[in-house]
Amino acid sequence: MTLQAKDTILVLDFGSQYSQLIARRVREAGAFSLLVAPNESLEKLRAHKPKGIILSGGPASVTDAGAPVCDPHLFDLGVPVLGICYGMQLGCQLLGSQVGKAPAREYGRTKLHVKVADGLLQGISSPATVWMSHGDQVTGLSNDFEILASTPTCPAAAVKHRTQKFWGVQFHPEVTHTPCGVDILRNFLQEACGCTGSWAMADFLDEEVARVRKQVGKDRVICGLSGGVDSAVAAALIARAVPGQMTCIFVDNGLLRKNERDLVESAFRHHFDVELKVVDARKEFLNDLAGIEDPQE
């Protein structure tokens, strides 16, 4: 089964510090998730065949010129969309509501009073503790929306569009400071998007191993190792897929952490079926960097 055939949720990343966490929470709930740029075209979004889309939070204000936006025709895709914080404000604005400054910037825990305890907020006790981090909020909600929940300072803390498949929450369900957040995300995934909750990371690993084997065949692979997580994980994945067919090249540039070269050599010589070549380029790098004080040079 390909990734496209799975329950795929796209997370449009508007620059939130929690965007990766949103993607992780979706995966933990049993659906595959992908982080994508907010300005991705409808054609590219549609190509992923998503069961749903989540609009992340972000540091910008939707009222600012040049603030990141998604395609205004996003809702034409016909899949459920959940907006979180900035994502809620953007979705509400695109669907005819007004966004403005909150009476006071809100950061921290607050009490969520549930008005409609079905759908997105099914099974959520009221009041519930949620985590807020925002300076703007929806100040003029269109009549096309229904308010699902409020807080003492935010009348529209959770909303639903009456005809479009859009839900919005002003708080952050993805953080541990919102204890009911996992349940809210699961409600969106299963009740709104129809996800089965059967996906697991092990499935992704098996599929990627099969994909690498098919692409490489009997050829050899060259992989540059930096000592960081990204290149190490990529090398480990390829080594599992095509053992004995990869040459890893690690360059010691003289700027590594203490014992990092020894750690990389030990890990890849003893735990992976790869050919490891270590290049000692300390002299070349340090000579060329001599006298340079500006890290931007």
Which residues are identified as catalytic?
Answer: 85, 172, 174
Q: How many CA within 13 A on the CB side of residue 173? A: 32
Helix, strand, coil percent content, the chain, rounded in steps of 5: 30, 25, 40
Q: How far apart are CA 195 and CA 7, in angstroms?
A: 6
Q: Locate tokens 């897929």: which residue?
A: 241
Q: How far apart are CA 133 and CA 181, in angstroms?
A: 15
127 preceded by a cis bond (ω within 30 of 0):
yes
Q: How far apart are CA 51 and CA 87, in angstroms?
A: 18
Q: How far apart are CA 139 and CA 102, in angstroms?
A: 8
Q: How far is CA 176 from the centre of its chain?
A: 16
The tokens for 200 are 């697991």
**Do residues 135 and 182 make contact, with C-beta atoms less than 8 angstroms apart?**
no
**Do residues 77 and 45 make contact, with C-beta atoms less than 8 angstroms apart?**
yes
Inter-axis angle of helices 201-216 and 229-241, nearest 10: 70
Q: In what helix (H) or strand (E) does residue 81 lie, and over which residues does it extend?
A: strand 81-84
Three-class SS state of 286: helix
Count of C-beta atoms within a 10 Å radius of residue 40: 17
Q: Which amino acid is located at 270 in the chain?
A: H
CA dihedral over 161, 150, 189, 44, signed as positive or negative: positive
